[in-house]
């Protein structure tokens, strides 16, 4: 009975999707390696909304965060190369593998198009004594290792930017103490609170505080002044030959069929060169920029070469050396956990099962039902990517319902309504992607 029903579900769904397909005819997913609400996320969602209008299929964003971009970039690179999964690449793709954090490099992506570039800039509190970058430089020279800076985690792009500036004016990259604070927003907040003296991050990230008059920018590491920030001088104007910034671009997994990449690249080009994207980006302080796949490929290769050289250079060795090693905190926790466990064991010995609340013996078959829940989830994880959410979840849900003795008269209609409805709710109404599978459902 169960098997028959399962077969019926599979057939019904399979036949609905058997028609020949043109690309794209299903939702496209943009993997954003950074958290919801951050700069990259805002660019990704803007891009998704406009690509959706251009391509005529839903374009969703998923935030695969963690590992300083490792998670998202590797998920995107290892996705099925069918053009339905794109990644919003950031400059970290060119640094992570040099830092030994992943094997994924720019070569694992087929570039689709550059969509934005933002240069690094240096910020101090509004009441700080330094009026120009030269003042700050002199302060560091007079008293090395006194000033503290942040903007991102150690060896992140804004750290490289600051260290590169220090090197290019003849100072050591460690002459300013880098406090590893993940993210520009908490770094700027720490700057205001007086915990650090300098922040290095992009202009749009600091725009709110800049326009509120709480901080000043001493210089931007771009070739020319950024139009939305005409008062911020470049480093070049101040006699320092150093530029660095982040870039954002779309990439597909490297084995994606070239004609699909071309189609997507044309759509991205139309979006980036359109007015909607331009004005939205400019208003948010971002610098819109476009490069076609070939240019983006060479830009990424160039960034990879340059940043790799920087990260491997003598000056950058030992940047990570620190007093409190990575295992300090876990060791403290394990020690405390051992102590608490000992105390618990001692307490249990002293008062053995005082209240007699030992759980009643499980009825026959309970162990099986228990295991089936977990096996069902394991099967889902194993099969959903191939068969898609609706088929996999439908079959497993039906099996589980029948096992718990829900009458098929109830179970069958429930599965047929609930599973497609949930898929529709998540993937279409709420725009939260679920596994699509080979049949596209």
Partner 1 sequence: MDALGPALSQVLDPTLLAVIVGAALYGTLFGSIPGLSATMAVALIVPLTYFLSPLAALAAVVTLEACAISAGDIPSALVRIPGTPASAAYADDLYQLAQRGQYHRALGVSITFSAIGGLFGVAVLVLFARPFASIATWFTVAEYFWLYVLGLGCAVVVSRGSALKGAFALLLGLLFSTVGLSPVHTAARFTFGRPELYQGISFIPAMVGLFGLSEVLRNVRSPWIDAATAVRPDVVSARQSIGAVFGGALGLLVRRPWASLQASAIGTLIGILPGAGADIAAWVSYGVSKRGSKTPDEYGRGSMEGLADAGAANNSALAGAWVPALTLGIPGDSITAIVLGIMMMKNLQPGPEIFDKQGALVHSLFLVFFLANLVLLPTGYLAIRASGLLMRVPRHTLLPVVVLFCVMGSYAIGGSYFDVGLMAAMGLLGFVLERGGVPVGPVVLGIILGGPLEERFVQAMTASGGSPWVFFARPSAAVLGVAAASVWLLPAMGAWRAHRRSRRGDVV
Confirm or reject binding of residue 1 to partner 1 (CB under 8 A): no
Binds partner 1 by CB under 8 A, chosen from 99, 216, 248, 260: 99
Q: How far is the CB of 417 from partner 1 (least distance, A)?
A: 11
Smallest separation, CB 360 to partner 1 (Å): 7
Cis peptide before 79 (omega within 30 of 0): no
Peptide bond into 206 cis (omega under 30): no
User: Judged by CB under 8 A, does residue 26 bind partner 1?
Assistant: no
Beta strands in 242-353 (DSSP E): 245-253, 288-291
By the rule CB under 8 A, 204 interacts with partner 1: yes
User: Which of residues 31 and 136 has its CB atom nearest to partner 1 in the complex?
Assistant: 31
Question: Exactly one of 202, 434, 437, 441 binds partner 1 (CB under 8 A); which one?
Answer: 434
Q: Which lies closer to partner 1 via its Cβ, residue 63 or residue 246?
A: 63
Binder of partner 1 out of 98, 189, 254, 420 (CB under 8 A): 189
| The two structure tokens encoding residue 409 | 């008269």
Q: Which structure tokens are listed for 319?
A: 């940047």
For position 42 contacting partner 1 by CB under 8 A, the verdict is yes
Q: Does 36 bind partner 1 (CB under 8 A)?
A: yes
Cα–Cα dist 32/273, whole Å = 22
Helix (H) or strand (E) holding 344: helix 328-350
Q: How far apart are CA 62 and CA 41, in angstroms?
A: 9
Q: How many beta carbons lie within 10 A of that of residue 129, not counting itself? A: 9
Minimum distance of partner 1 from residue 182's CB (angstroms): 4
Give least dist CB 183 to partner 1, A.
9
Q: Is the dihedral of CA 91, 94, 100, 104 positive or negative?
A: positive
What DSSP state is assigned to residue 173? T
Burial of 128 (0-12, 13-18, 19+ CB in 10 A): middle
- Closest to partner 1 by CB, 56 or 258: 56
Tokens 């104007």 -> residue: 237
Interface residue with partner 1 among 212, 227, 314, 356 (CB under 8 A) is 212
Ramachandran sector of residue 104 (left: φ over 0; alpha: ψ -120 to 50; beta: rest) = beta
Residues 364-423 that bind partner 1 (CB under 8 A): 366-367, 369-370, 372-374, 376-378, 380-381, 384-385, 393, 397, 400-401, 404-406, 410-411, 414, 418-419, 422
Sign of torsion, CA 40 41 46 50?
Answer: positive
**Touching partner 1, residues 119-158 (CB under 8 A):** 148, 150, 153-155
Of 207 and 238, the one with the shorter C-beta distance to partner 1 is: 207
Cα dihedral sign for 59, 64, 65, 67?
negative
Distance CA 68, CA 152 (A): 10
Do residues 428 and 58 touch, judged by C-beta distance below 8 A? yes
Tokens of 378: 């394991």
299 contacts partner 1 (rule: CB under 8 A) = no
Residue closer to partner 1 (CB basis): 262 or 421:
421
Strand partners, 111: 251
From the list 2-10, 209-217, 255-263, 293-301, the region that binds partner 1 by CB under 8 A is 209-217
- Minimum distance between the CB of residue 191 and partner 1, rounded to whole angstroms? 10
- Which of the ranges 8-16, 68-76, 165-173, 217-225 carries the binding residues for partner 1, by CB under 8 A? 68-76
Q: Does position 175 bind partner 1 by CB under 8 A?
A: no
Least Å from the CB of residue 65 to partner 1: 7
Contact assessment for residue 148 and residue 180, using Cβ atoms and an 8 Å cutoff: no
Counted residue by residue, the chain has a size of 441
Q: Which positions from 71 through 90 interact with partner 1, judged by CB under 8 A?
A: 71, 74-75
Please report how close the Cβ of residue 250 comes to partner 1 at its closest, in angstroms: 16
Using CB under 8 A as the criterion, what x/- string covers residues 224-253 for binding partner 1?
------------------------------
Q: Return the SS3 of 42.
A: helix
User: Pick from 139, 205, 203, 201: which is nearest to 176 by CA?
Assistant: 139
390 Cβ neighbours under 8 A, 6+ residues apart: 13, 419, 420, 423, 437, 441
CB of 324 to partner 1, least distance (A): 5
Residue from the set 5, 6, 29, 303 that interacts with partner 1 by CB under 8 A: 29
**Residue 239 CB, nearest approach to partner 1 (Å):** 30
Contacts (CB under 8 A) with partner 1, residues 315-344: 320, 322-327, 329-330, 333-334, 336-337, 340-341, 343-344
**Contact, 403 vs 369, CB < 8 A?**
yes
Min dist CB 172 to partner 1, Å, is 16
């Amino acid at each position: 009975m169960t098997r028959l029903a399962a077969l019926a579900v599979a057939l019904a769904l399979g036949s609905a999707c058997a028609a020949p397909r043109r690309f794209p005819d299903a939702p496209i997913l943009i993997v954003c390696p950074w958290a919801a609400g951050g700069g990259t996320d805002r660019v990704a969602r803007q891009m998704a909304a406009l690509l959706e209008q251009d391509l005529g299929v839903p374009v969703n964003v998923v935030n695969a965060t963690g590992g300083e971009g490792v998670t998202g970039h590797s998920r995107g690179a290892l996705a099925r190369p069918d053009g339905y999964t794109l990644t919003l690449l950031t400059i970290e793709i060119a640094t992570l593998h040099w830092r030994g954090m992943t094997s994924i490099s720019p070569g694992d992506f087929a570039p689709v198009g550059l969509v934005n570039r933002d240069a690094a800039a240096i910020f101090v509190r509004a009441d700080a004594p330094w009026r120009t970058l030269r003042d700050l430089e002199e302060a560091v020279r007079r008293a090395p290792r006194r000033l503290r800076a942040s903007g991102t985690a150690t060896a992140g792009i804004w750290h490289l930017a600051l260290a590169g500036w220090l090197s290019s004016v003849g100072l050591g990259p460690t002459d300013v103490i880098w406090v590893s604070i993940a993210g520009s927003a908490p770094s700027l907040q720490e700057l205001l609170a007086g915990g650090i003296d300098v922040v290095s991050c992009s202009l749009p990230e600091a725009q709110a505080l800049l326009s509120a008059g709480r901080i000043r920018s001493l210089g931007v590491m771009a070739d020319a002044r950024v139009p939305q920030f005409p008062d911020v001088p470049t480093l070049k104007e101040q006699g320092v030959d150093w530029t660095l910034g982040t870039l954002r671009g779309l990439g597909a997994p490297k084995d994606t069929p070239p004609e699909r990449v071309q189609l997507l690249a044309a759509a991205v080009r139309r979006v980036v060169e359109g007015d909607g994207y331009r004005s939205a980006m400019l208003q948010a302080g971002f610098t819109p920029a476009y490069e076609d796949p070939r240019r983006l490929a060479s830009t990424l290769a160039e960034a990879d070469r340059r940043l790799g050289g920087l990260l491997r250079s003598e000056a950058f060795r030992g940047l990570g050396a620190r007093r409190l090693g990575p295992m300090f905190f876990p060791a403290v926790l394990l020690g405390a956990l051992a102590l608490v466990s000992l105390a618990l064991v001692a307490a249990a010995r002293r008062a053995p099962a005082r209240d007699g609340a030992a759980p009643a013996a499980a009825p026959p078959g309970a162990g099986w039902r228990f295991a089936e829940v977990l096996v069902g989830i394991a099967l889902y994880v194993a099969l959903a990517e191939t068969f898609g959410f609706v088929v996999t979840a439908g079959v497993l849900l039906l099996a589980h319902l029948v096992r718990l003795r829900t009458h098929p008269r109830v179970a069958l209609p429930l599965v047929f309504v609930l599973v497609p409805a949930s898929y529709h709710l998540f993937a279409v109404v709420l725009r939260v992607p679920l596994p699509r599978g080979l049949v596209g459902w």
